[in-house]
Amino acid sequence: MLDFLKHPWPWYVAGPLIGLTVPALLILGNKSFGISSSLRHICAACLPANIPFFKYDWKKEIWNLFFVFGILLGGAIAAHFLGNPQPVQVNPKLADELTSYGITNYNNLVPQDIMNWPALLTLKGFLLMVVGGFLVGFGTRYAGGCTSGHAIMGLSNLQWPSLIATICFMIGGFIMANLILPFLLTL
Protein backbone atom coordinates (compact mmCIF):
# COMPACT_ATOMS: atom_id res chain seq x y z
CA MET A 1 0.00 0.00 0.00
CA LEU A 2 2.82 2.40 0.87
CA ASP A 3 4.38 1.76 -2.54
CA PHE A 4 1.08 2.70 -4.20
CA LEU A 5 0.97 5.97 -2.25
CA LYS A 6 4.54 6.90 -3.21
CA HIS A 7 3.82 6.94 -6.94
CA PRO A 8 1.60 9.30 -8.91
CA TRP A 9 -1.96 8.05 -9.01
CA PRO A 10 -3.48 7.34 -12.39
CA TRP A 11 -5.90 9.94 -13.74
CA TYR A 12 -8.82 7.54 -13.40
CA VAL A 13 -8.25 7.39 -9.62
CA ALA A 14 -7.12 10.95 -8.81
CA GLY A 15 -9.61 12.67 -11.14
CA PRO A 16 -12.77 11.15 -9.66
CA LEU A 17 -11.47 11.74 -6.12
CA ILE A 18 -10.95 15.42 -6.88
CA GLY A 19 -14.32 15.54 -8.63
CA LEU A 20 -16.07 14.01 -5.63
CA THR A 21 -15.10 17.02 -3.52
CA VAL A 22 -17.76 19.03 -5.38
CA PRO A 23 -20.80 16.96 -4.34
CA ALA A 24 -19.28 16.34 -0.90
CA LEU A 25 -18.96 20.07 -0.20
CA LEU A 26 -22.43 20.79 -1.60
CA ILE A 27 -24.10 17.98 0.33
CA LEU A 28 -22.26 18.54 3.62
CA GLY A 29 -22.77 22.27 3.84
CA ASN A 30 -23.70 23.93 0.56
CA LYS A 31 -20.09 25.14 0.25
CA SER A 32 -18.11 26.07 -2.86
CA PHE A 33 -14.69 24.61 -3.60
CA GLY A 34 -11.93 27.15 -4.16
CA ILE A 35 -8.57 28.04 -2.72
CA SER A 36 -7.96 31.67 -3.66
CA SER A 37 -10.77 32.98 -1.46
CA SER A 38 -8.88 31.81 1.64
CA LEU A 39 -6.38 34.66 1.22
CA ARG A 40 -9.26 37.14 1.38
CA HIS A 41 -10.54 35.46 4.56
CA ILE A 42 -7.07 35.65 6.16
CA CYS A 43 -6.73 39.32 5.27
CA ALA A 44 -10.23 40.07 6.59
CA ALA A 45 -9.37 38.33 9.86
CA CYS A 46 -5.90 39.79 10.35
CA LEU A 47 -6.12 43.28 8.88
CA PRO A 48 -8.50 45.54 10.79
CA ALA A 49 -8.24 48.15 8.02
CA ASN A 50 -11.19 50.09 6.76
CA ILE A 51 -11.10 48.46 3.30
CA PRO A 52 -14.58 47.64 1.96
CA PHE A 53 -13.38 44.45 0.20
CA PHE A 54 -12.41 42.96 3.58
CA LYS A 55 -15.52 44.12 5.47
CA TYR A 56 -17.69 41.01 5.64
CA ASP A 57 -18.35 38.22 8.12
CA TRP A 58 -15.30 36.09 7.40
CA LYS A 59 -16.15 33.79 10.31
CA LYS A 60 -18.87 32.19 8.16
CA GLU A 61 -16.10 31.06 5.82
CA ILE A 62 -13.71 29.69 8.46
CA TRP A 63 -14.33 26.18 7.11
CA ASN A 64 -12.35 27.29 4.01
CA LEU A 65 -9.35 28.17 6.18
CA PHE A 66 -9.46 24.73 7.80
CA PHE A 67 -9.75 23.18 4.34
CA VAL A 68 -6.64 25.03 3.11
CA PHE A 69 -4.78 24.21 6.34
CA GLY A 70 -5.64 20.54 5.76
CA ILE A 71 -4.23 20.76 2.24
CA LEU A 72 -1.00 22.30 3.55
CA LEU A 73 -0.73 19.77 6.37
CA GLY A 74 -1.45 16.87 4.03
CA GLY A 75 1.16 18.15 1.59
CA ALA A 76 3.75 18.45 4.36
CA ILE A 77 3.00 14.94 5.64
CA ALA A 78 3.12 13.50 2.12
CA ALA A 79 6.40 15.29 1.33
CA HIS A 80 7.98 14.04 4.56
CA PHE A 81 6.76 10.44 4.61
CA LEU A 82 5.96 9.68 0.97
CA GLY A 83 8.57 11.74 -0.85
CA ASN A 84 10.55 10.10 -3.62
CA PRO A 85 14.28 10.86 -3.18
CA GLN A 86 14.99 10.13 -6.86
CA PRO A 87 15.29 13.01 -9.34
CA VAL A 88 12.14 13.91 -11.24
CA GLN A 89 11.82 11.83 -14.41
CA VAL A 90 11.77 14.08 -17.45
CA ASN A 91 11.19 13.04 -21.05
CA PRO A 92 14.55 12.96 -22.86
CA LYS A 93 13.35 15.39 -25.56
CA LEU A 94 12.23 17.86 -22.90
CA ALA A 95 15.49 17.37 -21.01
CA ASP A 96 17.44 18.28 -24.17
CA GLU A 97 15.34 21.41 -24.65
CA LEU A 98 15.69 22.42 -20.98
CA THR A 99 19.46 21.88 -21.15
CA SER A 100 19.62 24.50 -23.91
CA TYR A 101 18.06 26.93 -21.39
CA GLY A 102 20.53 25.95 -18.65
CA ILE A 103 18.12 23.75 -16.66
CA THR A 104 19.80 20.48 -15.74
CA ASN A 105 18.91 19.87 -12.08
CA TYR A 106 15.80 17.70 -11.66
CA ASN A 107 16.18 16.96 -7.94
CA ASN A 108 13.03 18.97 -7.05
CA LEU A 109 9.66 19.60 -8.64
CA VAL A 110 10.65 23.24 -9.19
CA PRO A 111 13.94 23.62 -11.12
CA GLN A 112 16.49 25.13 -8.76
CA ASP A 113 18.49 26.32 -11.76
CA ILE A 114 15.98 29.16 -12.25
CA MET A 115 13.97 29.28 -9.01
CA ASN A 116 16.37 30.27 -6.22
CA TRP A 117 17.20 33.37 -4.18
CA PRO A 118 20.19 34.51 -6.27
CA ALA A 119 18.12 34.12 -9.48
CA LEU A 120 15.53 36.49 -8.04
CA LEU A 121 18.03 39.32 -8.51
CA THR A 122 18.33 38.66 -12.25
CA LEU A 123 15.96 39.93 -14.93
CA LYS A 124 14.85 36.40 -15.78
CA GLY A 125 14.25 35.48 -12.14
CA PHE A 126 12.42 38.71 -11.41
CA LEU A 127 10.14 38.26 -14.43
CA LEU A 128 9.43 34.61 -13.65
CA MET A 129 8.89 34.89 -9.90
CA VAL A 130 7.73 38.43 -9.12
CA VAL A 131 5.98 39.52 -12.30
CA GLY A 132 4.62 36.01 -12.89
CA GLY A 133 3.33 35.83 -9.31
CA PHE A 134 1.68 39.22 -9.66
CA LEU A 135 0.01 38.19 -12.94
CA VAL A 136 -1.30 34.97 -11.38
CA GLY A 137 -2.73 36.92 -8.44
CA PHE A 138 -4.18 39.61 -10.68
CA GLY A 139 -5.70 37.04 -13.02
CA THR A 140 -7.22 35.14 -10.13
CA ARG A 141 -8.83 38.29 -8.77
CA TYR A 142 -9.94 39.52 -12.20
CA ALA A 143 -11.49 36.13 -13.04
CA GLY A 144 -13.23 35.97 -9.67
CA GLY A 145 -11.45 32.79 -8.61
CA CYS A 146 -8.66 30.35 -9.28
CA THR A 147 -8.43 27.41 -11.63
CA SER A 148 -9.63 24.96 -8.99
CA GLY A 149 -12.67 27.06 -8.15
CA HIS A 150 -13.66 27.66 -11.76
CA ALA A 151 -12.56 24.44 -13.47
CA ILE A 152 -13.68 22.03 -10.77
CA MET A 153 -16.54 23.70 -8.95
CA GLY A 154 -17.81 26.22 -11.49
CA LEU A 155 -17.92 23.84 -14.43
CA SER A 156 -19.61 21.20 -12.28
CA ASN A 157 -22.32 23.72 -11.49
CA LEU A 158 -22.63 24.66 -15.18
CA GLN A 159 -21.64 28.27 -14.54
CA TRP A 160 -21.05 30.22 -17.76
CA PRO A 161 -18.41 32.57 -16.21
CA SER A 162 -16.43 29.53 -15.06
CA LEU A 163 -16.44 28.10 -18.58
CA ILE A 164 -15.13 31.39 -19.96
CA ALA A 165 -12.52 31.67 -17.19
CA THR A 166 -11.35 28.07 -17.68
CA ILE A 167 -11.02 28.57 -21.45
CA CYS A 168 -9.00 31.74 -20.81
CA PHE A 169 -6.81 29.93 -18.24
CA MET A 170 -6.07 27.20 -20.80
CA ILE A 171 -5.34 29.63 -23.63
CA GLY A 172 -3.09 31.66 -21.33
CA GLY A 173 -1.28 28.50 -20.23
CA PHE A 174 -0.65 27.39 -23.83
CA ILE A 175 0.60 30.85 -24.82
CA MET A 176 2.84 31.05 -21.76
CA ALA A 177 4.30 27.55 -22.13
CA ASN A 178 4.87 27.68 -25.87
CA LEU A 179 5.61 31.33 -26.66
CA ILE A 180 6.53 33.43 -23.62
CA LEU A 181 8.39 30.95 -21.39
CA PRO A 182 10.91 29.88 -24.06
CA PHE A 183 11.69 33.57 -24.63
CA LEU A 184 12.05 34.26 -20.88
CA LEU A 185 14.33 31.27 -20.40
CA THR A 186 16.74 32.65 -23.00
CA LEU A 187 17.28 35.88 -21.05
| pTM of the entire predicted model | 0.79
Write the DSSP string, 136-164.
HHHHHHHHTS-HIIIIIIIHHTT-HHHHH
| pLDDT < 70 positions in the chain | none
| pLDDT for the residue 181 | 93
| pLDDT for the residue 163 | 95
The span from the CA of 132 to the CA of 173, in Å, is 12
Contact of 167 with 160, CB cutoff 8 Å: no
> What average pLDDT is seen over the chain?
89
* Helix and strand totals (H; E) in the chain: 13, 0
| pLDDT for the residue 169 | 92
The span from the CA of 102 to the CA of 65, in Å, is 39
The pLDDT > 90 percentage for the chain reads 41
